[in-house]
Amino acid sequence: MRQNLHCDSFSFNQASKIWLFFWLCAVQCLFVGCQTKKTKTLEVMEEEQAWHEEPYRPQYHFTPQQNWMNDPNGLVFYRGWYHLFYQYYPDDTVWGPMHWGHARSKDMVHWEHLPIALYPDELGLIFSGSAVIDQQNTSGFGSVENPAMVAMYTYHLMEGEKAGRDDFQTQGIAYSLGEGATWTKYAGNPVIANEGIKDFRDPKVFWHEPTKMWVMALVAGDHVKFYESPNLKEWSHMSDFGKEVGAHGGVWECPDLFPLTDAKSGERKWALLVSMNPGAPNGGSGTQYFIGDFDGKEFVSAQIEAKWLDYGTDNYAGVTYNNLPEAERVFIGWMSNWDYARDTPTESWRSAMTLPRKLSLEKDEAGYWLKNLPLASVENLIAKTDMNPETIQPKDSLTLTGKDFNQGLGRFQTATQNFRLEFSNGKKNFLILEMDGSTGTFTLDRRASGKIGFHPEFGNKEHTMPIRITKGQVYDVSLYLDKSSIEVFIDGGKYVMTQQIFPDVDYDQLEVHNLDKVSAITDLSVYPMASVWIDAKEKRPVEN
Ligand code: FRU
């Protein structure tokens, strides 16, 4: 085209030639540009389709498209989007120099993957932390009209660690005026230096309205430190909590502090989450909680013993969303365990997040409980609702067959708490769940559930959870299976177990045994769950 323009057979004057040149170039650019864009979109779609069909890829849980992920970070709701940042190593499927990966969602079920948000710099790798919306522009990073999203995270300086120093973790901040898409690191970093505490990390920041201050919870090995700041840049230490209470079998990590109100009594308390590795009830990593009071300066609790948010082996480093109404406390955890996280048998990606869960507080004769249950938006994925619920009489059994168990939701009610469930397949894989009402014990046995040999800690023992049995009470049981995970919720989320599983092929049989002599299991249904990736397929552009 360009050659033609310079061809002598054209009798245009110079000006016309120049105009035609620009016009043709514009047409060409538009054409070529559109073509490139179209091809790229198709490529991306192809990739999306391939990556969500890999073996063990969850169909309704968040996973990174590729490579390694651990803790959820910077959970913040802003302008209609739930942002999920996460510990990410973009170059391998095992842990490495940490970045913050980024995704966002309207319902916390369908996620949109976005470019990496934070990269390591000369102060270190970007470890876990949180994000807030600075509505009143206390930091001066944004304005009241366009407030900054401010991330606070831990810098981990590898050189310092390698040199055997104990001050290699410091706290830094970065801000975004583009809804988390672009970030600027604060020139005054680090905002909290380290005076010699080896494990000094994972800041969780929130706005405390009564004192009109930013409050931060930060872990320091075996306790939580609380700080306050008027502007997110200058921080003063206020108080410490936890040296003498709770579980101390490992290092404390990823704290979170927030208020909750007991729906029955109307009592408002504060919950403090603390993850710990190792030392969880069933081995390796786990998350404990404390219920107490917080006056803006100090957290106090009468609780001495450890209470666990989840008795499963695979719910770690979970924290809650900032910038939501107080009654909507939403939690997401990393669905793995440091014991074997690097070795799980997935290929191009590693690790998923738990389902998003709503937290609530309940008080009974035994004290305060932090309950967690999947969000209502997860229920929208139930792909078929016209099922006839089953009843299983005392001492009777039922065998169900089908192909939906590994991407399904099973539900039933039991008044006696004596039952046994067995998921199995033709490869002689068995996943066994049992509840014994006489001892108040729920057991999950994945020793023969499929692939277990990738790490000695994965399938070496049964995992148990204590249940308080109240005579005459009907317990609801919900089981969410998604290819390589099972999440068990009993009694409205008072008792929870989250576990990874790697069956050789999907389970296609479920035996339900009612082990009780007196009462029936009722309302048993197994619902197939939709894949969140089907939407991506449907949006596929048509080639012409
Ligand atoms: C928890 C944790 C955090 C740390 C991050 C590093 O899983 O160890 O304490 O910030 O992971 O990736």
pLDDT digits (tens, 9 = 90+) for 108-156: 999 999 999 999 999 999 999 999 999 999 999 999 999 999 999 999 9
Kindly state whether residue 317 falls inside one of the protein's structural domains: yes
- What's the pLDDT at 534? 62
Q: And the tokens for 365?
A: 């004769």
- pLDDT for residue 384: 80
Residue 159: CA count within 13 A, CB half-sphere: 4
pLDDT score of 26: 40
Looking at the structure, do residues 214 and 343 belong to the same domain, yes or no? yes
Q: Are residues 165 and 17 in the same domain?
A: no
Which of 88, 98, 201 has the most ligand 1 atoms within 8 A of CB, as the residue to mutate? 201
pLDDT at 375 over 90: yes
Check whether 282 has a pLDDT greater than 70: yes
**146 and 291 housed in the same domain:** yes
Number of domains in the chain: 3
Cα 23 to chain centroid distance, Å, stands at 51
Alpha helices, H only, 262-381: 376-379
Ligand 1 centroid from CA 351, angstroms = 14
> What is residue 49's predicted lDDT score, i.e. its pLDDT?
67
Q: Are residues 202 and 181 in the same domain?
A: yes
Element (H, E) at 21: helix 14-51
**In-domain check, residue 544:** no
Please tell me the distance from the alpha carbon of residue 183 to that of residue 177, in angstroms, as a whole number. 8
In this model, does residue 402 exceed pLDDT 80? Answer: yes
Q: Does one domain contain both 175 and 311?
A: yes
pLDDT of residue 212: 98
Encode burial over 242-254: b for 16+ CB neighbours within 10 A, e otherwise. beebbbbebbbbb
Say which residues have a Cβ less than 8 Å from residue 253's Cβ, sequence separation at least 6. Answer: 128, 199, 201, 202, 219, 274, 275, 276, 277, 317
- Whether 169 lines ligand 1, by a CB cut-off of 6 Å, is no
* Mean pLDDT in residue range 64-92: 98
- Please check whether residues 103 and 220 belong to one and the same domain: yes
Tokens of 147: 């407030």
pLDDT digits (tens, 9 = 90+) for 491-503: 999 999 999 999 9
Whether 232 has a pLDDT exceeding 80, the answer reads yes
Nearest residue (CA) to ligand 1, atom 6: 127
* Structure-token match 């729906």, residue found: 263
Q: Please determine, for residue 25, whether its predicted confidence score (pLDDT) is greater than 50.
A: no
Q: What is the pLDDT of residue 385?
A: 75
pLDDT on residue 38: 37
Residue 487 has pLDDT above 90, yes or no: yes
Annotated catalytic residue within 71, 310, 314, 491: 71
**Amino acid letter at 9?**
S
**pLDDT at 295 (0 to 100):** 98
d(CA 364, CA 379): 28
Query: pLDDT, tens digit, for every residue of 418-444?
Result: 999 999 999 999 999 999 999 999 999
Q: Tell whether omega for the bond before 356 is within 30 degrees of 0, i.e. cis.
A: no
Contact 189, 155 (CB under 8 A): yes
Same domain, 227 and 79: yes
Residue 13 above 80 pLDDT? no
Considering only the C-alpha atoms of the chain, give the largest distance between any 2 of them, rounded to a whole number of Å: 101
483 CA to centre of ligand 1 in angstroms: 26
Higher pLDDT, 342 or 537: 342
Q: For residue 118, give the CATH number of its domain.
A: 2.115.10.20
Of residues 299 and 43, more confidence is placed in 299
| Ligand 1 mean position, distance from CA 128 (Å) | 6
Residue 30 has pLDDT above 50, yes or no: no
Judged by phi (left if over 0) then psi (alpha if -120 to 50, else beta), residue 200 lies in beta
- Mean pLDDT (whole number) for 320-328: 97
Pocket test for ligand 1, best of 202, 218, 334, 350 (most atoms within 8 A of CB): 202
- pLDDT of 271 > 50? The answer is yes
Distance between CA 496 and CA 490 in Å, rounded?
A: 6
Mean pLDDT of the chain: 90
Q: Is 362 in the pocket of ligand 1 (CB under 6 A)?
A: no
CA-closest candidate to residue 285, choices 312, 324, 321, 257: 312
β pairing state of 349-350 and 67-78: parallel
Task: Please give the pLDDT value at position 50.
Answer: 76
Residues 292 and 207 in one domain: yes
Rg (CA), the chain: 26
Cβ of 289 below 6 Å from ligand 1: no
Does some domain include residue 158?
Answer: yes
Q: For residues 329 and 422, state if they share a domain.
A: no
Higher-confidence position of 461 and 415: 461
pLDDT value at position 416?
72
pLDDT (average), residues 370-392: 91
CA distances from 278 to 27, 129, 218 (A): 63, 20, 19
Closest to 510 in 3D by CA, of 525, 488, 530: 525
Q: If you average pLDDT over residues 205-215, what whole number do you get?
A: 98
Burial of 274 per CB tally in 10 Å (0-12, 13-18, 19+): buried
37 is a domain residue: no
Strand order in the sheet with 200-208: 200-208, 213-220, 224-229, 236-241
Q: Are 362 and 409 part of one and the same domain?
A: no
What does the pLDDT average to over 187-201?
97
The range of the structural domain enclosing residue 26 comes to: 2-32
Q: 84 Cβ partners below 8 Å, 6+ apart?
A: 62, 72, 74, 75, 102, 103, 104, 105, 111, 332, 353
Q: Does residue 468 sit in the same domain as residue 333?
A: no
State phi, psi for 343 to the nearest 5 degrees. Answer: -110, 0
Task: Tell the burial category of 326 from Cβ atoms under 10 Å away from its Cβ (0-12, 13-18, 19+).
Answer: exposed
Q: How far apart are CA 511 and CA 482, in angstroms?
A: 18
Residue 202 a catalytic site member: no
Q: Examine residue 305 and state whether it is found in any structural domain, yes or no.
A: yes
pLDDT score of 23: 42
Checking if the pLDDT of 74 tops 80, the result is: yes
Residue 418 belongs to domain with CATH number: 2.60.120.560
State the pTM of this model.
Answer: 0.90
Same domain membership, residue 308 and residue 184: yes
Ligand 1 pocket, residue 201 CB under 6 Å? yes
Q: Average pLDDT for residues 372-394, to the nearest whole number?
A: 91
pLDDT at 51: 77
pLDDT at 19: 41
